[in-house]
Amino acid sequence: MRVVAVFNQKGGVGKTTTALNLVAALACRGARPLAVDLDPQAHLTQILGGEQRLAEESVFSFFARQRPLAEITRDLDSGMRLIPGHLETAKLDSMLGKSMQVITRLRQALQAPSEKGHPVLIDCCPLLGVLSLNAVFACDLLLIPVSADFLALRGAQQVERTLDALEPVFKRRLPRRYLLTRYDRRRRMSGEIEERMRAHFRAGEICINKIAENVSLAESPAYQQNIFDYAPRSTGARDYAALLEELYGS
Ligand SMILES: Nc1ncnc2c1ncn2[C@@H]1O[C@H](COP(=O)(O)OP(=O)(O)O)[C@@H](O)[C@H]1O
Ligand SMILES: [Mg+2]
């Protein structure tokens, strides 16, 4: 499993947190992972890459001007690489439409020999537009965070319906995993959402590990850090390390 896209049709569920910390954990293993920021809000880029740059140096120019990925990929510390996002990408839906050629563009590019072998993490926005469709078509696994609340569960159910609708195109069941995030065992709702997830989704498609509510996970982006640098002994670091093992093996 080389390309993982993190998606839910709801915001604030932990997509960026999950993409960030899985990429960081992969980098700790020396895997030279590539993070692709497909959210116009570009939070992942801000956390990983710092300062804002021009749209031309972001994934916008890959989609709008067919610029090769290699030209916009930034090398970061500790072996991570980033294809930055940009606010301009919000315009791509009206610029490009949703033809098959457009929505498979990222998949084509990630299959280039230069990209072979490296793990890729794609951070999506909550809308099912041209960018998220590119992520769905490019990925080997769709990872769907569900923060322990009802709207997040509804967003995940929307994703399930979307994937069902796309199944005739893929001609197979697209691999997916639902990940319970922001779990707080003192809150009854967390347990209720967990039960509903079990009722709604196939057992093998729910991650065994869950991500607990953890203050260090909420704090670390303010310092432009991942959880392993910011608080390596936190429950957040432990949860994401366990998730890495579950998804990628040891
Ligand atoms: N397990 C967690 N514990 C505490 N805060 C979290 C956790 N996961 C995410 N957050 C915080 O919740 C907010 C939304 O998370 P984020 O990853 O940005 O969601 P999304 O990308 O889905 O919009 C952020 O402020 C983030 O720091
Ligand atoms: Mg996000």
Residue 112's pLDDT is: 84
The pLDDT mean for the chain works out to 95
Give nearest CA residue, ligand 1 atom 26: 218
* Confidence label for 149 from pLDDT (cuts 50, 70 and 90): very high
Give nearest CA residue, ligand 1 atom 25: 218
C-alpha 147 – ligand 1 centre gap (Å): 9
Residue 42's pLDDT is: 97
Residue 1's pLDDT is: 66
Q: Is the CB of 10 under 6 A from ligand 1?
A: no
199-230 per-position pLDDT tens digit:
999 999 999 999 999 999 999 999 999 999 99
pLDDT > 70 fraction of the chain, expressed in percent and rounded: 99
* Best residue for ligand 1 mutational test, from 16, 17, 23 (most atoms within 8 Å of Cβ): 17
Overall pTM surpassing 0.85 (yes/no): yes
Q: Over 80: is that where the pLDDT of 116 sits?
A: no
Q: Is the CB of 181 under 6 A from ligand 1?
A: yes
Q: Is the CB of 22 under 6 A from ligand 1?
A: no
Mean pLDDT of 45-56: 87
Q: Over 80: is that where the pLDDT of 233 sits?
A: yes
Residue 57's pLDDT is: 95
Mean pLDDT of 24-35: 95
* Confidence label for 98 from pLDDT (cuts 50, 70 and 90): confident
Q: Is the CB of 4 under 6 A from ligand 1?
A: no
Give nearest CA residue, ligand 1 atom 11: 218
Q: Is the CB of 182 under 6 A from ligand 1?
A: yes
C-alpha 198 – ligand 1 centre gap (Å): 22
Residue 50's pLDDT is: 66
Ligand 1 atom nearest to 239, measured from its CA: 1
> What domains does the chain contain, in order, with CATH numbers?
3-248 (3.40.50.300)
Give nearest CA residue, ligand 1 atom 14: 12
Tell me the two tokens of residue 213: 């509510």
Residue 53's pLDDT is: 83
Q: Is the CB of 217 under 6 A from ligand 1?
A: yes
Q: Over 90: is that where the pLDDT of 117 sits?
A: no
